[in-house]
Homo-oligomer: A and B are copies of this chain.
Amino acid sequence: MTVSLHLDLGLMLLLLLACWQTPGMVGGTVPAPPVNVSVTQLRAHSAMVTWNVPQGDTVIGYAISQQRQDGLMQRSIREVNTSSRWCVLWDLDEDTHYSVQVQSVGPHGDSPPSRAVHFRTLERTDHYPAGVLDHRECS
């Protein structure tokens, strides 16, 4: 059975294309997952997520995945060229269970996700009026 060189080249190109399109198969190592992932400033319709990055890794950004526990509404946030270790979650439903996971973005790919943090938003009557958006203590 003869195999043509032309087809072999085509196969190799397609294999290269498939590998190139598959995240995680490029060279280099990815950072470790974020640690100390916490939900702070919990309110009826918003919360803030903070985390730390283990020393030693080069981290150029983060990716956050937020889910309602009932499966409705998924949100993902990705930011690069940033040193931020916090993120605001807005437009949440009151008295509702959510979970959030954070990944570090490195030059060669994303870290595995952090452990999932579960939280429940406050009831409307529990919220307090001060704004958080212009607070910069956490950045």
User: Chain A: residues with CB nearer than 8 A to chain B?
Assistant: 1-4, 7, 10-11, 14-15, 17-18, 21-22, 43-46, 72-82, 84, 86-88, 90-91, 127, 129-134, 136, 139
A113 smallest CB distance to B (angstroms): 16
Q: Which of B7, B10, B87, B131 sits near A133, CB closer than 8 Å?
A: B131
B43 touching A133, Cβ below 8 Å: yes
Q: Which of B46, B76, B81, B129 sits near A73, CB closer than 8 Å?
A: B81
Alpha-carbon distance A11/B91, docked complex (angstroms): 47
Among A22, A88, A131, chain B packs the most CB atoms within 10 A around the CB of: A131
List 20 A-B pairs, Cβ < 8 Å: A1-B4, A2-B2, A3-B3, A3-B7, A10-B11, A11-B14, A14-B18, A18-B21, A21-B22, A43-B134, A44-B134, A46-B133, A73-B82, A75-B79, A76-B78, A86-B91, A129-B131, A131-B132, A132-B133, A133-B133
User: How many chain copies does the complex carry?
Assistant: 2
Alpha-carbon distance A90/B4, docked complex (angstroms): 57
Q: Which residues of B contact A77 (CB under 8 A)?
A: 75-78
A6 smallest CB distance to B (angstroms): 8
Which 4 A-B pairs give the minimum distances between C-beta atoms? A131-B131, A46-B133, A14-B14, A88-B90
